[in-house]
Chains A and B, each alone.
Chain A
Amino acid sequence: MLILGLDTATATASVALIRGKGLLAEEILNIPQKTHSKKLLPVLARLLTGAGVQIEDVDAFAVSAGPGSFTGLRIGLGTGKGFAHALSKPLITVPTLDALAYNYYFPGAIICPLLDAKQGLLYTALYRGEASGPRRETDYLALPPQGVVEYLSPGEEPVILLGDGIGLLGKAVWAQLGERAFVVPAASCLPRASSVAFLGQRALGENPQGDPLTVEPLYVRKSAAELNLKKRRLAGGARKF
């Protein structure tokens, strides 16, 4: 079974092809610019050519569903929906934090993926490393850095940190974690489409998901407008073209 993975949830964009247990090809662009819309398809076209694969050969599409940049999530999921719709193939969504934890799931450790959620918040969830993969033990959360530490503080296990939110942890947080903290190497720190594809393959085997055409991103956070209905009402909305 050939699976195409897509991840544009953060500033990083990646595409990957997996077959069974093997990674066929993967490309990661970690260039913090808002260019996913421009770059995703050209990168994908190159990947397919390089792997000698036609898009029609793909059996299922797996997309990183969030949390992450709202626009980034829609570019990834919109692309996945377009492929699934055009080719009548399954589309599987994979939570971005699950995929990130999958990059480095050392058994016995706590895995703590962190993504910059802007406005001083971090997207995170805590996982327990097991031989078969990371097992999620909390909800998907949007927390200030100190809140992350409060979740982590009891216990002695090593804490594996990964993701673009690591830089947002202040000095105090590092002091509290002390020697428990372990930051993974750069390549495992990035959201990777291969992890999305492998988890997607697993989800596809377990329980077939709903209609690929109506599946939604995992936004986790409400839009600013919904949180601030009154203020919005006074300001009015955007113009129509």
Chain B
Amino acid sequence: MSLLLLGIETSCDETAAAVVAGGRRIRSNIISSQIELHQPFGGVVPELASRKHLQNINPIIGEALREAGVGWGDLAGIAVTHGPGLVGALLVGLTVAKALAFARRLPLVAVNHLEGHIYANYLAHPSLEPPFIALVVSGGHTDLVHVLGHGEYHPLGQTRDDAAGEAFDKVARVLGLGYPGGPLLDAAARGGNPQAIDFPRAVLKDAPLDFSFSGVKTAVLNYHNQQRQRGKEINVADVAASFQAAVVEVLVDKTLLAAKTLSLDKVAICGGVAANSALREHFRIRGAEAGLEILSPPPILCTDNAAMIAAAGYHRLKAGCFAPLDLNAVPNLPLIGGK
């Protein structure tokens, strides 16, 4: 009999609940997106996100239980994201999770959102076991991690300035593509020439596995302004494709370098940007060339969801890492070294 966990996730603009069996099998995975709510503002508005989470969270949890066909009594525990994320948004999921666990006398497990993203790969690939290299790439993070075991991570590299997804969002805004920037830029780039403009790829000699995306972002902004000043038409598809190519190339290069350096043959990519079609395609091709196994979750498990939180929580539950009643949200919780 595999243990059933209820996962709860409200770190940003997705209200999500899921039931997962044995840390691997999704019984339900309900996600309520707030995209339409934030669209007029061109980005996530924290106060509005928090209000919407509180409106939706319990009905979403109810739906997750119903779809999984389980009652409170069937659960072995509740896993909830406690960081990183928007503090007000995190607090909604956390508060409800704590009350549910308290009232039903269920163990509560606190999950790091970034660890959740890594665990999306365990859901998508049921036989995956550590060690492997993980690339966590989202709007707030670009981290290369050596996954040694369950809950055991060694940092290899990270961004020094913008996260990859943050650069996507900013460039999408400049190109007038709107919000959310990542998927819209991906779509716009599809008809463009990735070699049209040679945007810079940051090489950091002193720390070859670290990233920097502020340079390429600024280059796109400068290019955009220059063209406008010269009264030239901007080919949005070409700019999007060229920018995307520059970011993707760096992400793939450094991830493969990490695998080679550590002599590991498995690479798992995850996080919102891992849903990017060009990134997936390049990893597929370059990974095959290098003889590496490239794993990625399906797009629905790349975006924020609660199944990944339940999957990560399962191992914490088995290890007896229960959260105390005074558990709080930690907006800047790091993947490694955090509590």
Report if A and B associate in a common complex: yes
Identify the A interface with B (CB < 8 A).
37-39, 41-42, 44-45, 55-56, 70-71, 74-75, 77-83, 85-87, 213-214, 216-217, 219, 223-226, 229, 232-241
CA distance A223 to B46 in the complex (A): 10
The reply to whether B48 and A226 form a contact with Cβ atoms under 8 Å apart is yes
6 nearest A-B pairs in the assembled complex, by CB-CB distance: A237-B43, A82-B99, A240-B139, A78-B95, A213-B58, A86-B103
Q: For the complex, is B270 an interface residue (Cβ under 8 Å from A)?
A: no
CA distance A86 to B8 in the complex (A): 14
CA distance A75 to B99 in the complex (A): 10
**CB contact between A87 and one of B48, B57, B103 (< 8 Å): that residue:** B103
The reply to whether A37 and B62 form a contact with Cβ atoms under 8 Å apart is no
Min C-beta distance of B1 to chain A, whole Å: 23
The reply to whether B43 and A238 form a contact with Cβ atoms under 8 Å apart is yes
CA distance A38 to B58 in the complex (A): 21
CA distance A238 to B87 in the complex (A): 11
Q: Point out the residues of chain A lying under 8 angstroms from B72, CB to CB.
A: 86
Q: For the complex, is B272 an interface residue (Cβ under 8 Å from A)?
A: yes
Q: Point out the residues of chain B lying under 8 angstroms from A219, CB to CB.
A: 51
Task: Name the CB-closest residue of A to B84.
Answer: A241
Task: Name the CB-closest residue of A to B333.
Answer: A241
The reply to whether B140 and A82 form a contact with Cβ atoms under 8 Å apart is no
**CB contact between B100 and one of A38, A56, A82, A239 (< 8 Å): that residue:** A82
The reply to whether A85 and B61 form a contact with Cβ atoms under 8 Å apart is yes
Min C-beta distance of A66 to chain B, whole Å: 12
**CB contact between A241 and one of B40, B57, B85 (< 8 Å): that residue:** B85
Identify the B interface with A (CB < 8 A).
11-13, 38, 40-51, 54-55, 57-59, 61-62, 72, 84-88, 91-92, 94-100, 102-104, 113-114, 138-141, 163, 165-166, 169-170, 173, 179-180, 272, 304, 325-329
Task: Name the CB-closest residue of B to A81.
Answer: B58
CA distance A101 to B42 in the complex (A): 42
Pick 6 A–B contacts, CB within 8 A, sort by A: A41-B98, A41-B102, A223-B51, A240-B169, A241-B11, A241-B12
Q: Point out the residues of chain A lying under 8 angstroms from B51, CB to CB.
A: 70, 74, 216, 219, 223
A83 and B103 in contact (CB under 8 A), knowing A37-B328, A70-B88? yes
The reply to whether B165 and A79 form a contact with Cβ atoms under 8 Å apart is no
A71 and B91 in contact (CB under 8 A), knowing A81-B58, A219-B51, A240-B138? yes
CA distance A233 to B327 in the complex (A): 34
The reply to whether A233 and B57 form a contact with Cβ atoms under 8 Å apart is no
Q: Point out the residues of chain B lying under 8 angstroms from A217, CB to CB.
A: 54
Q: Point out the residues of chain A lying under 8 angstroms from B46, CB to CB.
A: 237-238
Of A74, A214, A224, A240, which is in contact with the most chain B CB atoms at under 10 Å from its CB? A240
Task: Name the CB-closest residue of B to A41.
Answer: B325
The reply to whether A241 and B138 form a contact with Cβ atoms under 8 Å apart is yes
Q: Point out the residues of chain A lying under 8 angstroms from B58, CB to CB.
A: 81-82, 85, 213-214
Given A82-B103, A232-B45, A237-B44, 5 more contacts at CB 8 Å?
A219-B51, A237-B41, A238-B43, A240-B139, A240-B169
CA distance A155 to B223 in the complex (A): 69
**CB contact between B99 and one of A38, A70, A78, A213 (< 8 Å): that residue:** A78
The reply to whether A82 and B47 form a contact with Cβ atoms under 8 Å apart is no
**CB contact between B91 and one of A78, A87, A236 (< 8 Å): that residue:** A78
Of B11, B47, B170, which is in contact with the most chain A CB atoms at under 10 Å from its CB? B47
The reply to whether B41 and A55 form a contact with Cβ atoms under 8 Å apart is no
The reply to whether A71 and B40 form a contact with Cβ atoms under 8 Å apart is no
The reply to whether B179 and A237 form a contact with Cβ atoms under 8 Å apart is yes
CA distance A44 to B99 in the complex (A): 11
The reply to whether A85 and B91 form a contact with Cβ atoms under 8 Å apart is no
Min C-beta distance of B82 to chain A, whole Å: 10
Q: Point out the residues of chain A lying under 8 angstroms from B98, CB to CB.
A: 41, 79, 82
CA distance A132 to B229 in the complex (A): 73
Q: Point out the residues of chain B lying under 8 angstroms from A79, CB to CB.
A: 95-96, 98-99
The reply to whether A75 and B91 form a contact with Cβ atoms under 8 Å apart is yes
CA distance A238 to B139 in the complex (A): 9
A213 and B62 in contact (CB under 8 A), knowing A79-B98, A226-B48, A239-B169? yes
CA distance A78 to B304 in the complex (A): 21
Q: Point out the residues of chain B lying under 8 angstroms from A77, CB to CB.
A: 54
The reply to whether A82 and B96 form a contact with Cβ atoms under 8 Å apart is yes
